[in-house]
Amino acid sequence: MKIQTLFFGITSDLVETNDLEITISENSSINDFKVFLKKKYPKLENINSYAIAVNETYAEGNLILKEGDVVAIIPPVSGG
Amino acid sequence: MKIQTLFFGITSDLVETNDLEITISENSSINDFKVFLKKKYPKLENINSYAIAVNETYAEGNLILKEGDVVAIIPPVSGG
Amino acid sequence: MKRTSIKITSKKLDLQECYNFVEDDSCGGISAFIGTVRNDTQGKEVLQLDFSTYKPMAIKEMQKIADLALEKFPIHKIAIHHAEGMLQIGEIPVIITASSKHRKATFEACEFAIDTLKETVPIWKKEYFSDGEVWVNAHP
Amino acid sequence: MKRTSIKITSKKLDLQECYNFVEDDSCGGISAFIGTVRNDTQGKEVLQLDFSTYKPMAIKEMQKIADLALEKFPIHKIAIHHAEGMLQIGEIPVIITASSKHRKATFEACEFAIDTLKETVPIWKKEYFSDGEVWVNAHP
């Protein structure tokens, strides 16, 4: 299935894009997605941690993704 | 000796003046002054408490007054 | 450099003026507290408030609060402005602003300043109701 | 009646606008927190800051903070406005205002809102130095 993936802050520099369509197998969890992402973009190892939002809401690692979800890669925020 | 006495807030209503020259004996303390004041203006009993400032600074009851001091009667404040 | 701005005035207080005084390139945050005249007290409708002051002493006490805030908290500057005379509902009796490199101190300084002002500064307000007037806090 | 005002904009933030939104005749106090761009970070001179956002999600998270503040504290209204794009030293990335009948809640609500915003809202800043740029917090 196809997952639209958005990169923000330092992660957009590391992967050199803001927006990407990623194809992963059905019933993948967010944790599966993160493993896949690190394999595809080893540079993401350069940051200590990042959060994931699915459809504009923070999501836990065990959430199962579905076709059409928008996944955002959220490095540590620094607003204010 | 003569003590210029200023009344503020509710106390100026109770004594019906803002400013008064009071003559008391030499070496009077603030506590003496307060006793004198209550005798002269029994209506001051109508408020629970008031502070005294001497020359624009809060003063304790045992402070000895001197000629020319300006004493202010400070009922509970309510600024802000 | 003056690090405190103290004022008692019968003109309208100006939030931007208090902001501009404390603003500085070295600061990352500014907090402000603005007192406003409320339309009721204990369920009773208030029409207006009259603020009277023992002005020279009030200025001194406000200055003490500002100086103490600079000692107690790592703030850069602080402004404390108070109005006198008759104020209508929604008008502003007091503005306090404080600036600092980091935000925590600005909250602490503003809260300390307004709490202390309400305890020590010789300013009195009289509430006007449709059926009379009352000195606030006179009979606590 | 709308009790929250949430905004992300590339225009200058307006303190008076945030004040006016929360001001109400039933309120006796308003607190404000204004973030400002500081000219140094850990002793190094900062030239400017660039704020980028995941805007639709950032708006939602700011709304959550405002709604939670209304639940947690007895405040009447709250405004949370954030800037995006390039800001110069002294300019304002964020303004938060809260109003209440009594002042304590306004301080608590502003402090809660800015603390939470800095933890949860998907906004990122890049610091520009004379010798390069750094994403803030990227390597905590």
Beta partners for C123?
Answer: C53
The whole-number pLDDT of residue B52 equals 96
| DSSP label of B18 | S
The whole-number pLDDT of residue D73 equals 98
pLDDT in tens, B64-74: 999 999 999 99
The radius of gyration of chain C's CA atoms, rounded to the nearest angstrom, is 16
Domain spanning A2-74, CATH class:
alpha beta
Is B78–C139 a contact, with Cβ atoms under 8 angstroms apart?
A: no
Is C26–D36 a contact, with Cβ atoms under 8 angstroms apart?
A: no
Q: Which domains does chain C have, with CATH numbers?
A: 4-135 (3.90.1170.40)
Phi and psi, residue C135, nearest 5° = -75, 125
| DSSP label of A59 | -
Is residue B64 within 8 Å of residue B40, measured between CB atoms? no
Indicate the domain borders of chain A. Answer: 2-74
The whole-number pLDDT of residue D129 equals 96
The whole-number pLDDT of residue D138 equals 84
**What is the pLDDT averaged over residues A24-53?**
92
Name residues 70-129 of chain D within 8 A of A (Cβ): 82, 93-94, 114, 117-125
The whole-number pLDDT of residue D20 equals 98
Closest CA to C3 of C61, C63, C56, C57: C63
**What is the pLDDT averaged over residues B4-30?**
95
Closest CA to B63 of B20, B23, B33, B22: B33
Is B79–C138 a contact, with Cβ atoms under 8 angstroms apart?
A: no
Distance CA D99, CA C33 (A): 10
pLDDT in tens, B24-39: 999 999 999 999 999 9
Between chain B and chain A, are at least 3 CB pairs below 8 A?
no
Helix axes C55-72, C103-120, angle to 10 degrees: 150
The residue type of A33 is: F
Q: What percent of chain C has pLDDT over 70?
A: 99
Which parts of chain D fold into alpha helices (H)? 15-22, 55-72, 103-120
Residues in chain D with pLDDT < 50? none
Is C118–B57 a contact, with Cβ atoms under 8 angstroms apart?
A: no
CA of B25, closest CA in chain C: separation in Å? 26
Closest CA to A10 of D124, D46, D37, D8: D124
The whole-number pLDDT of residue A33 equals 95
Is B10–C124 a contact, with Cβ atoms under 8 angstroms apart?
A: yes
Tell whether the model's pLDDT for residue A49 goes beyond 90.
no
Residues of B in contact with C123 (CB under 8 A): 77-80
The whole-number pLDDT of residue A47 equals 80
Report chain A's mean pLDDT, rounded to a whole number: 94
B51 band by pLDDT with thresholds 50, 70 and 90 = very high
- Higher pLDDT among residues C139 and B57, named by residue: B57
Tell whether the model's pLDDT for residue C140 goes beyond 70.
no
Residues of D in contact with A76 (CB under 8 A): 137-138, 140
Closest CA to A26 of A67, A60, A56, A61: A67
Per DSSP (E only), the strands in chain C are 4-9, 29-35, 40-41, 44-45, 48-53, 77-83, 85-88, 94-100, 123-129, 132-135
The residue type of B38 is: K
Taken as a whole, chain B contains a residue count of 80
- Higher pLDDT among residues C117 and C139, named by residue: C117
Report chain C's mean pLDDT, rounded to a whole number: 97
- ipTM summary value: 0.95
Tell whether the model's pLDDT for residue C57 goes beyond 90.
yes
Cβ-nearest to C29 among D16, D31, D34: D34
pLDDT in tens, A56-66: 999 999 999 99
Sheet order of strands, C48-53 included: C85-88, C48-53, C123-129, C132-135
The whole-number pLDDT of residue A46 equals 78
Closest CA to C70 of C117, C120, C14, C2: C2
The whole-number pLDDT of residue B45 equals 84
The whole-number pLDDT of residue A48 equals 72
CA of B70, closest CA in chain C: separation in Å? 11
